[in-house]
Amino acid sequence: MFTTSNRDTVDSGVDWIGEIPTEWDAVKIRFVARLESGHTPSKSVDEYWENCDIPWVTTSDIKKFREKEKVYLNETEEEISQLGLENSGARLLPEGTVFLSRTASVGFAGIMGDDMATSQDFANWVCGDDVVPEYLLYVFRAMDQEFSRLMQGSTHMTIYMPDIRSLEMPLPPVDEQKQIADFLIDKCSGIDDLLQKKQSQVKRLEERRQSEITSAITKGIDKSKKQVSTDSDWYDKVPETWELTRLKRLRKRNVPIVYGIVQPGPDQEDGVPYIKGGQCEPEKLNPEILSKTTEEIASKYERSCLDVGDLVYEIRGSMGRVVKVPPELEGANLTQDTARISPQEDVNADWLLYALQSEPFFQQMEVNQRGATVEGINLFDLRRGVLPVPPASEQVEIAEYLSRIDQTIEETIDRVSTSIERVKELRQSLIKAAITGQIDVTEAQDISQEPTP
């Protein structure tokens, strides 16, 4: 895929770097680039946030750099004023400064395409004459393992400034840095194009899955069956043997749709597992990895105790995700971010699982979302959600049909996703090899094609 360098090498003395060419150095980054931090002007002083025209890099900008495709940041999500800048610890840094996120989303780097300031969430490097900004950027992109080693924190991970000041890098001559940076920009661009194509393929597969679900849930499998008009805002026509029914009419009698534990407390080693927001996916319903509450707390929420075949619907956060309770979670519980739905005996649980994922039902929930910080829906709106309900035998047919479609699509998505990870690993290996001199960038071949197994 690329040509190995034949140059003599020496141990750099830095674990993450390893061997480097003998004519290179390994240095602390602060010896070749001036380290600057950032700051946030006081939010309580309105004047600091008036007439804002200075680009200000915040964690909102990091999403553009998560995939390591973007190099330059030319426009920020937020701006600050000159007055705010002058009355805070923030500084206006020159174009070409390399910024590195060090809190929350740790280890993502980019290059300022204009003079900018940053929040305190960043370490910023103003490059001197001995280091090229684009080369330093790729050094940071090769440091994933080093960043993982340095991160600290229980809730929000952080790399503290003393560790930032101690960061080291391989340092080739400036001309070679430019060659390496140009090489990586070119080769990574080809790899990124390949990744985008594959990610688009995954998106199309997910859209097809959603389309299949919505079609089967609203029109049935046999499209030749007579359709009749409805007076619903969500369903124009449905098969004539179907009936529009509110979700609350599909639950077991005396088993209401409820949310779960409000304050589950600290995780218990041998307690009662519970499902919380963000966990309504089959692969996450493992009793070994779910958080657990005490028997005492769980006993106060017997109303939301789960039975096999119940459905758990996320009502906050990732609103609309739904999952079926497996046998190993019988007796588990929920948090207030999720709701339990127990289908009555003549309602097929697998059909209802798909029905709750259909586009019209999601739209009904979406228009009722509330909340300033974390959006969600209340139980009243969930219970009143309307579904077109077919006869029991047809529910089974639809569920089995969608299960087959689902399996085929998921298998394809898994294959493409595996391929995406392999391409990302290839890109990471290429970056690490180039910035440590393991490959001859003047002779490297085109690697922007699909890697072979």
Instruction: List the beta bridge partners of residue 152.
Output: 158
Number of Cβ within a 10 Å radius of residue 240: 10
| Cα separations in angstroms, 402 against 205, 215, 309, 448 | 14, 10, 18, 37
Provide the token pair at 390. Answer: 């077919």
Provide the token pair at 262. Answer: 């409000």
Helix axis angle, 174-219 to 359-366, nearest 10°: 100
Contact 246, 384 (CB under 8 A): yes
* Amino acid 453: pLDDT: 42
Instruction: List the beta bridge partners of residue 4.
Output: 439
CATH number of 1-13+172-220+396-453: 1.10.287.1120
Domain with CATH 3.90.220.20 in the chain: 25-171, 223-389
Helix axis angle, 392-435 to 133-141, nearest 10°: 130
Number of Cβ within a 10 Å radius of residue 20: 23
The Cα–Cα gap between 137 and 7 comes to: 24
Radius of gyration from C-alpha coordinates of the chain: 27
Ranges of residues in the chain whose predicted pLDDT is under 70:
1-4, 154, 371-374, 443-453
The Cα–Cα gap between 346 and 77 comes to: 52
422-451: per-residue pLDDT in tens? 999 999 999 999 999 999 887 654 444 454
Contact 13, 6 (CB under 8 A): no
Helix (H) or strand (E) holding 382: helix 379-383
- Nearest one of 445, 3, 427 to 193, comparing CA atoms: 427
Q: Which CATH architecture has domain 25-171?
A: Alpha-Beta Complex (3.90)
The Cα–Cα gap between 107 and 378 comes to: 37
Domain with CATH 1.10.287.1120 in the chain: 1-13+172-220+396-453
> Does the 223-389 domain belong in CATH 3.90.220.20?
yes
* Amino acid 280: pLDDT: 86
pTM: 0.81
133-181: per-residue pLDDT in tens? 999 999 999 999 999 999 988 678 899 999 999 999 999 999 999 999 9
